[in-house]
Amino acid sequence: MDINGLEENIDVLQRSECTQPSTNTLDALQAFNALPGKRKIWVDNSAAASVADAGVEALKLGMGYVCSNKIAATRSLKDWYVLLESRQRFKNETNVGAALPILHGLRSMIETGDRIRRIEAVLSGSVNYIFSSLDSGFKFSDAVREAVSNGFTEPDARIDLSGTDVARKLLILARTCGDKLTLDDVTVNGFLPDEAFEGDKKRFMAQLDALGERVDTLAANAMETGKRLRFIASWSPENGCTCALQALDPDHAFFTLEGTDNAVSILSDRYADNPLVIQGAGAGGSLTASGVLSDVYAVARWMLTQNAQES
């Protein structure tokens, strides 16, 4: 960190002999490591496995590692333990819920002796936007098109609708609670037929009306009985991880969840009668950026404390 801010640090980078073009991510990491200064933080806002690999290597080199990239925390258990061993130098708060204090809250509960019994969550802002639109009478296909138009989904909306991103987030929650699971252990009960994920996104959008008919029927049936559809991620030590579409009763904590909001309900020994619910906007560039910056500050503060103790 430099009190003179980014401009002076960028000048150092530009003057450095180590800033020759890198052929791969690990070369870039080594060049970064060779730059002046003892305290460095590798920040990963990509969705690339190679950048996540470099993050693990950064920790081994003594750097900090801050990531919004969910790949790092959902790879092998061996890699996960490397991250845990570097807890003070590794921060991934934005992996679940953007800037919402979900992972920090869970860790604080566990570190102070609470035991997590069950987690239920809505972890995709784009998918929640689509299903909450059905409450207002939208067809599934129209809701998806509007979500794409508003920029709430990935350019290929099937990435959001497949449930893979939700599965990664749920795995991170489960691992944070101490469960030794891998991505293969997460059951995803999809709400679209397999053919939705065949071919390219143009074909998918062209067939969206037909592909969404089953969801429209489920939504209509739910509304007739006073319920609403939401895509729920669930974990418990006994039952593991499941992501599935559920018809919620009006007394469910997520029944009124609308738009791109995320929500996590945590049942624990302390919150046994009334689960702790953390809810709010769970998507958006500015929110995620603020969470990443907060993580960078946390790692930097710890590094400065260590440096003061060593001197």
Q: How do 276-281 and 64-67 pair as beta strands?
A: unpaired
Q: How many residues does the chain have?
A: 311
What pLDDT does residue 309 have?
Answer: 76
Query: Which residues of the chain fall below pLDDT 50?
Result: 1-10, 12-15, 18
Q: Which residues fall within 8 angstroms of residue 29, CB to CB, at 6 or more apart?
A: 42, 54, 57, 58, 61
Q: Which residues fall within 8 angstroms of residue 285, CB to CB, at 6 or more apart?
A: none
What pLDDT does residue 24 have?
Answer: 87
Backbone angles phi, psi at 109, to 5 degrees: -60, -45
Q: What is the dihedral of CA 20, 25, 29, 31, to 10 degrees?
A: -10
What pLDDT does residue 285 have?
Answer: 83
What pLDDT does residue 2 have?
Answer: 44
Select which of 40, 70, 91, 169 is catalytic. Answer: 169
pTM above 0.85, yes or no: yes
Residue with tokens 């089953």: 214
Two structure tokens written together for 270: 């302390």
Two structure tokens written together for 20: 């020759």
- Name the DSSP class of 263: E
Q: Where are the domains of the chain?
A: 6-98+286-310, 102-282
Q: What is the pLDDT of residues 17-66, one digit of tens each?
A: 545 555 689 999 999 999 998 899 999 999 899 999 999 999 999 999 99
**Whole-angstrom distance, CA of residue 113 vs CA of residue 125:** 31
CATH topology of domain 102-282: Dihydrodipicolinate Reductase; domain 2 (3.30.360)
Q: At what angle do helices 125-134 and 140-149 cross, to 10 degrees?
A: 140
Backbone angles phi, psi at 234, to 5 degrees: -130, 140
**Whole-angstrom distance, CA of residue 208 vs CA of residue 190:** 15
**Whole-angstrom distance, CA of residue 197 vs CA of residue 159:** 9
Question: Domain 6-98+286-310 - what CATH class?
Answer: alpha beta
Residue with tokens 């003057």: 15
Q: Would residue 115 be called left, alpha or beta, if left means φ above 0 and alpha means ψ between -120 and 50 degrees?
A: beta
**Whole-angstrom distance, CA of residue 301 vs CA of residue 299:** 5
- Known catalytic residue: 169? yes
CB atoms within 10 A of CB 21: 7
Distance of CA 10 to the CA centre of its chain: 30
What pLDDT does residue 12 have?
Answer: 47
Question: 3-class SS at 178?
Answer: coil
Q: Which of these, 35, 57, 34, 31, lies nearest to 44 by C-alpha position?
A: 57
Assess whether the region 6-98+286-310 and the region 102-282 belong to the same CATH fold.
Answer: no
Q: Which helix (H) or strand (E) holds 22?
A: none
229 forms beta bridges with: 247
